[in-house]
Structure 1
């Protein structure tokens, strides 16, 4: 069976024992690298299990997407950006694009590109992953 991930996310708290390409970017795993009791979870596409992000990238769990609960993420991988469009949301108007799993092309959330409100600009460049479209990978 071939590797279907462009980037494979490994637990930074365990010793690397895999021959897969892993993320070596220290910003990807942020400050959690040194904490021993932190739970590390890899999130993937619900349909094909392609790795998308990790629990260390969650900015907030208090978001709502089109399908229900969603996470605001700092960084995601293995996605393709869809068409750019203007969307009206509860907190204002945004320029966004859907993000699709690069393997199966299913929608997993969206990316904030631009906000019309100054107090919401912290979302620019961040991602929403909808929980109904993702799963925990083991």
Structure 2
């Protein structure tokens, strides 16, 4: 894989409270997004293990 997963942290997001970890580019160390580790709301558990990539971090916008 070309990413590294950072330390876990609890965060309040728009859809609830989650334990997440930032994901970093292995080459340059830039934060690319995050990974859902634990969803504290049962209805949001489908997000666990999924990655969110910030498009502005991985693509050039013209």
TM-score higher than 0.5: yes
Q: Out of 27, 30, 35, which is 1:103 matched to?
A: 27
Over the aligned positions, Cα root-mean-square deviation in angstroms equals 1.1
More strand by share: 2
Give the 4+ runs in structure 1 shifted more than 6 A. Answer: none
Bigger RCO (CA 8 Å, 6+ sep): 2
Q: Where does the alignment leave 5 or more consecutive residues of structure 1 unmatched?
A: 1-76
Structure 2 counterpart SS, 1:132: helix
Q: Which residue of 1 aligns with 2:38?
A: 114
Deviations 1:32-56, CA, capped at 9 Å, x for gaps: xxxxxxxxxxxxxxxxxxxxxxxxx
Whether 2:49 is the aligned partner of 1:125: answer yes
Inter-partner Cα distance in structure 2 for 1:123 and 1:134: 21
Higher-Rg structure is: 1
Aligned to 1:91: 15
The alignment covers a number of residue pairs equal to: 60
Question: Taking structure 2 as the reference length, what is the TM-score of the superposition?
Answer: 0.91
